[in-house]
Amino acid sequence: METALTVCQAEWEGWHTTQLARAAGDPDVCDVEHYRQMVAERTARLYDVYQSGRRVACYLLTAEPLPVGGREVVIVAGASIGQGLYVPVLRIVQHQAAGADSIRIHAIRPGAVRMAQRAGFEPVETVMRWKRGQQQ
């Protein structure tokens, strides 16, 4: 039997810095200091996820207007230290975003893409990057 997850809004701590940097694994796509600043300025909300009283994940949410009207919740970043949490946490976010028209997540790892698809997310764009100094 799976233990229920509990979610509560959080204030930034060193744990978040460590976990979010570890989860992204790429400093070009993970600016942890920017995330911390977003939480401090209240432009994003930070949530902690607990399982059996132990903190096992965190994520940041913000909302943006859609070009066609409406509102989209954006999962800015997330991290977990447990297995099998990705889809259950996405389900929690879907519940939290009940008033939004859509939810957007940027997933780099193929496994994360597959798990997001299991939770009903669909690919909508491909992001390309050119970096100064890279070989052509």
| pLDDT for residue 1 | 45
Can you tell me the distance from the alpha carbon of 81 to that of 90, in angstroms, rounded to the nearest whole number?
Answer: 15
**What confidence tens digit (pLDDT) does each residue in 58-68 have?**
999 999 999 89
The CATH fold of domain 5-118: Aminopeptidase (3.40.630)
Section 52-59 average pLDDT: 93
H helix runs in the chain, sequence order: 14-24, 32-40, 86-96, 110-118
| pLDDT for residue 117 | 93
**What confidence tens digit (pLDDT) does each residue in 27-45 have?**
666 788 999 999 999 999 9
- For the chain, the structural domain boundaries read 5-118
Say if residue 82's pLDDT is above 80. no
**pTM of the full structure:** 0.86
| pLDDT for residue 136 | 62
